Amino acid sequence: MEVKVIIAASLRTFTGRTPEVKVNAADVSEALNALTDEYPEAAKGLFDENHDLRDFVGIYLNDSDIRTLKGLNTKLSDGDELYLIPAIAGGACESVISTERMKEVSIGDKEIRRYNNHLQLKEISIKGQKRIMAGRVLVAGLGALGGVVAERLAAAGVGTIGLADAGDVTLEGLQVQTIHGTRDIDRPRAASAKDRLKKLNPLVNTITHQEKLSAENAEEIVAGYDIVVDATDSFVSRYLISDACVLCGKPDVFGAMYQFEGFVTVLGTKDGPCYRCLYPSPPPAGIVPSCAASGVMNALPGITGAMMAAEVLKLLTGSGEPLIGKAITLDAWNIRYHIVNTARDKGCPVCGADPSIHSAQDIDYEDLCGLRENPHEEPIEAIEPAELARRISDGEKITIIDVREPHERAIRRFPGTIAIPIGQLARRQKELDPDIDTIFICREGKRSILAIRTLREAGYEGPMYNLKGGFEAAAQIIFPNEGAWL
């Protein structure tokens, strides 16, 4: 049977950037084996050390999750399409706003003029707009995605918008984070977003949560809203927010991006899955690069964020077909999109038939996402940028391996390094000298940790060090006069 395997961008590092492959296979397992035969490095991203499919990889046959079929044993037919959708990255519903709350909202001449476009739509009209105005929505993460969602919701007239973000505005973020401006650099993103929404629609009430969501505060914050928008960019936040939404009975409108691809779904409802159902565990640290490390097309947050805002409006008004039990993936560069069915996992520890998690405080989210050091695992030694600068200046004999992607190296050079992608390290380890120190660099110091662990598993025994903080931490110390890097 000839089938097409379509590979999400975040996994294409292991397939030489190839977006799709045709293979001959009778079932899903054979298809994956054929893929890894052609691209051996892909096995690292798809399977763990026991050759079990990693939990963070979702596989969909046409539009169905193979976990709702027969898993890897699912039979294939000619012309089938398999979608490999990792963590990055239906049906009508009732409004989350009660009739009583809707009736408490009044619409005067000022609101009629401002919200005229919605009032003319029979699917929204006066009742729907009053529900929107009665709504309380928390937007978690005020970068590229969250900024777009917050602006659309404010313009729509959502009564109260919570703005949760502990970070500051940076120059690097402005190309995609259009809710902020040049004058906002170094300001808290929550405060900057609040000012923007006030200018956009002074009728909207905004509440800032200028703090990092944690197991200690997430449920308390989430409980004060009708809907939560998860526009964060870390797996810790995604599992935490999803768990808190299920525990508090709040829908979770989830979105994620990678380069040219967006992903949107609605989680945490009584009829649909939560984030853990889709991805029972996160990828190992460094396997899936962040948007900051991989880049994102400027227009993508606008497309993806607007879709997320639409899901919020559907949940508030109780009309339309929200993405409950469904997810949409879109490739804005190649003009492709897919809608796949998702399902609740009856064994899910949070929303399943017999849940074992009853409070976010029961979970160590840092440990869940592999961010805490395993006391039984050999530690990864780190080198400070200043120490590396000294060793380079003194002419010490060291090897520096750059594991960044080619496009990253083209923008910011690190002279005197050997470029080896993580997927090639095991077979190219003979290029390293085990008698001298080897220092690994990436953008932020996370992928380089994965690189060292990969070589250890492959049997390399030479001394290896991770550049702490990666290229970003070293740039101004090692190359202060490099200029624009281009």
How many independent structural domains does the chain possess?
A: 3
DSSP letter, residue 72: G
User: Mean of the pLDDT values across residues 455-460?
Assistant: 87
More confident residue, 436 or 409: 436
> Please, which pLDDT band fits residue 484 given cuts at 50, 70 and 90?
very low
Which two structure tokens, joined as six digits, stand for 382? 């780190």
Tens digits of per-residue pLDDT, 147-174? 999 999 999 999 999 999 999 999 988 9
More confident residue, 334 or 308: 308
* 99 within some domain: no
Residue ending a domain, among 340, 368, 396, is 368
**Distance separating alpha carbons of residues 390 and 319, to the nearest angstrom:** 63
Predicted local distance difference test score (pLDDT) of residue 374: 56
Q: Which domain holds residue 66?
A: 2-86
Please tell me whether residues 186 and 320 are part of one structural domain.
yes
Tens digits of per-residue pLDDT, 52-87? 787 778 888 887 888 888 888 888 888 888 888 776
Q: What percent of the chain has pLDDT over 70?
A: 90
Which residues pair with residue 137 across a beta bridge? 161, 227
> Please, which pLDDT band fits residue 118 given cuts at 50, 70 and 90?
very high
Predicted local distance difference test score (pLDDT) of residue 89: 41
Predicted local distance difference test score (pLDDT) of residue 36: 82
* 129 within some domain: no
Residue 459, pLDDT above cutoff 60: yes
Burial (0-12, 13-18, 19+ Cβ within 10 Å), 234 = middle
Please tell me whether residues 436 and 355 are part of one structural domain.
no
Please tell me whether residues 311 and 217 are part of one structural domain.
yes
Measuring CA to CA, how many Å separate 80 from each of 22, 30, 61, 63, 326? 10, 14, 7, 10, 19
Mean confidence (pLDDT) of the chain: 86
Residue 408, pLDDT above cutoff 90: no
DSSP letter, residue 54: P
Tens digits of per-residue pLDDT, 203-254? 999 999 999 898 899 999 999 999 999 999 888 899 999 999 999 999 999 9
Provide the CATH number for the domain around residue 461.
Answer: 3.40.250.10
Predicted local distance difference test score (pLDDT) of residue 291: 54
Residue 28, pLDDT above cutoff 50: yes
CB contact at 8 A, 5 and 18: no
Q: How far is CA 283 from the centre of its chain?
A: 11
**Distance separating alpha carbons of residues 314 and 324, to the nearest angstrom:** 11
Predicted local distance difference test score (pLDDT) of residue 486: 34
DSSP letter, residue 143: S
Please tell me whether residues 185 and 70 are part of one structural domain.
no
Residue ending a domain, among 308, 338, 368, is 368
**Distance separating alpha carbons of residues 348 and 369, to the nearest angstrom:** 17
Angle between helix axes 385-393 and 470-478 (nearest 10 degrees) is: 50
Please tell me whether residues 146 and 287 are part of one structural domain.
yes
Closest CA to 230 of 216, 244, 217, 220: 244
**Alpha-carbon torsion angle 327, 333, 336, 341, nearest 10:** -10
* 116 within some domain: no
Which two structure tokens, joined as six digits, stand for 148? 């777009």
Predicted local distance difference test score (pLDDT) of residue 397: 92
Which two structure tokens, joined as six digits, stand for 150? 């917050």
Closest CA to 197 of 134, 240, 146, 235: 146
CB contact at 8 A, 165 and 221: no
**Alpha-carbon torsion angle 173, 174, 179, 180, nearest 10:** 100
CB contact at 8 A, 419 and 458: no
Which residues pair with residue 257 across a beta bridge? 262
* 128 within some domain: no
Q: Find the range with the poorest average confidence among 79-93, 191-205, 209-223, 449-463.
A: 79-93
The structure's pTM equals 0.74
Please tell me whether residues 197 and 283 are part of one structural domain.
yes
Predicted local distance difference test score (pLDDT) of residue 113: 94
Please tell me whether residues 143 and 65 are part of one structural domain.
no
Contacts of 143 (CB under 8 A, 6+ apart): 165, 167, 173, 176, 177, 189, 231, 233
Q: Which residues of 309-337 are buried (b: 16+ CB within 10 A; e: fewer)?
A: bbbbbbbbbbbeebbbbbbbbbbbeeeee
Q: How far is CA 453 from the centre of its chain?
A: 23
CB contact at 8 A, 153 and 161: yes
More confident residue, 484 or 178: 178
* 160 within some domain: yes
Tens digits of per-residue pLDDT, 381-390? 888 988 988 8
> Please, which pLDDT band fits residue 305 given cuts at 50, 70 and 90?
very high
Please tell me whether residues 188 and 262 are part of one structural domain.
yes
**Distance separating alpha carbons of residues 245 and 226, to the nearest angstrom:** 10
Predicted local distance difference test score (pLDDT) of residue 268: 93
Asked whether the CA dihedral 258, 261, 262, 267 is positive or negative, the reply is negative
Predicted local distance difference test score (pLDDT) of residue 482: 45
Q: Find the range with the poorest average confidence among 49-58, 86-95, 292-301.
A: 86-95
Which residues pair with residue 449 across a beta bridge? none
Please tell me whether residues 311 and 341 are part of one structural domain.
yes
Q: Find the range with the poorest average confidence among 124-138, 141-155, 325-339.
A: 325-339
Which residues pair with residue 327 across a beta bridge? 265, 340
Residue ending a domain, among 368, 397, 420, is 368
Please tell me whether residues 139 and 249 are part of one structural domain.
yes
CB contact at 8 A, 80 and 72: no
Q: Beta strand pairing status for 57-61 and 81-86?
A: antiparallel
Active-site positions read 291, 442
Q: How far is CA 66 from the centre of its chain?
A: 22
Provide the CATH number for the domain around residue 12.
Answer: 3.10.20.30
**Distance separating alpha carbons of residues 241 and 218, to the nearest angstrom:** 7
> What is the distance between the terminal CA atoms of the chain, rounded to a whole angstrom?
48
Residue whose entry in the numeric block shows the structure tokens 């594991």:
403
* 95 within some domain: no
Measuring CA to CA, how many Å separate 447 from each of 237, 381, 443? 19, 14, 8
Please tell me whether residues 452 and 339 are part of one structural domain.
no
Q: What is the 3-state secondary structure (H, E, C) of 174-231?
A: CCCCCCCCHHHCCCEHHHHHHHHHHHHCCCCEEEEECCCCCCCCHHHHHCCCCEEEEC
Provide the CATH number for the domain around residue 362.
Answer: 3.40.50.720
Closest CA to 402 of 437, 451, 435: 451
Please tell me whether residues 394 and 346 are part of one structural domain.
no
* 114 within some domain: no
DSSP letter, residue 446: S
* 117 within some domain: no
